[in-house]
Amino acid sequence: MKVDPNDLAAAMEHDPALIDENDALKYHAGLLAVTMYRESHELWLKGEYEKAREINFEAHKITGCDIHPGATIGKRFFIDHATGVVIGETTIIGDDVCLYQGVTLGGVSTSKGKRHPTLRNHIVVGCNASILGNITIGNNVRVGAGSVVLKDVPDDCTVVGVPGRVVRYKGLKVQCELNHCDLPDPEEDEISKLRSEIEMLKREIEELKKRRSRHPASLHRIHA
């Protein structure tokens, strides 16, 4: 089985646990899953669907990663750990994309045609994230661990939450790196705002109580 040198280079770059290239070639489940996919994809394009599906099925058994032979995947594709990764038939993936364990690139329709996501270039998708439907994820995007993305995402964004929410980083490229869990939390931001408002209201109430204790008669006249 021939390993694409670009995929090997991606594995060496993004997985610090690898000892050397020999270690990657023998024991890296993600690299094996990608290599078997590329072989099955070549057969799929030739119309040899049965052979392609055999390799796909074998790869799933060995690595725990299910990449449909019909998916289109670019250069330097990296999957860490492989376990639980699912990539649907009409998925399109660009160059320099990283997926972590448990990622699903799935469909939301049983109809034929394009029903899976398109991921452009320089994207990292955190563990157990799901990107569903015929949507497009732009260049230089990070998808946080556990997020569920159901809508298009523009370039240079970070997506977090369920459903996924976009945080724009204008002018800043999001590199394909491991710290995909170090992400903004929009819900926590909203909670922080509410806490601030509650503290402000508490201060106003205390101030009104002090005024009432100092000038009870004038306050009584105002209310009257």
Q: Are 115 and 108 in contact (CB under 8 A)?
A: yes
Q: Which CATH superfamily is domain 5-184 in?
A: Hexapeptide repeat proteins (2.160.10.10)
pLDDT tens digits for 101-149? Answer: 999 999 988 888 999 999 999 999 999 999 999 999 999 999 999 999 9
Q: How far apart are CA 60 and CA 83, in angstroms?
A: 9
* 66 bridge partner residues: 86
pLDDT of residue 110: 82
Q: What does the block give as tokens for 40? A: 């099955």
Contact 186, 165 (CB under 8 A): yes
- 3-state SS of the chain is CCCCHHHHHHHHHHCCCCCCHHHHHHHCHHHHHHHHHHHHHHHHHCCCHHHHHHHHHHHHHHHCCEECCCCEECCCCEECCCCCCEECCCCEECCCEEECCCCEEECCCCCCCCCCCEECCCEEECCCCEEECCCEECCCCEECCCCEECCCECCCEEEECCCCEEEECCCCCCCCCCCCCCCCCHHHHHHHHHHHHHHHHHHHHHHHHHHHHHCHHHHHHHHC
* Three-point CA angle 19, 21, 23, nearest 5°: 55
Q: Looking at residue 173, what is its pLDDT?
A: 47
**pTM as predicted:** 0.76
Query: What are the residue ranges spanned by the domains of the chain?
Result: 5-184, 187-223
Q: Which CA distances in Å does 135 have to 4, 92, 118?
A: 28, 10, 6
pLDDT tens for the chain, 224 residues: list them: 799 999 999 999 999 999 999 999 999 999 999 999 999 999 999 999 999 999 999 999 999 999 999 999 999 999 999 999 999 999 999 999 999 999 999 998 888 899 999 999 999 999 999 999 999 999 999 999 999 999 999 999 999 988 888 776 654 544 554 455 555 556 666 787 788 888 888 888 888 888 777 766 555 555 55
Q: Which two tokens mark 2?
A: 């021939």
Q: End-to-end alpha-carbon separation of the chain, Å? A: 90
What whole-number distance in Å separates Cα of residue 147 and Cα of residue 150? Answer: 10
What pLDDT shows up at residue 59? 97
Contact 106, 130 (CB under 8 A): yes
Q: What is the pLDDT of residue 174?
A: 46
Strand 118-119 to strand 92-93: parallel, antiparallel, or no bridges (unpaired)? Answer: parallel
| Alpha-carbon torsion (80, 167, 109, 130), positive or negative | positive
The rounded distance, in Å, linking the Cα atoms of 90 and 175 is 26
The predicted pLDDT at position 171 comes to 45
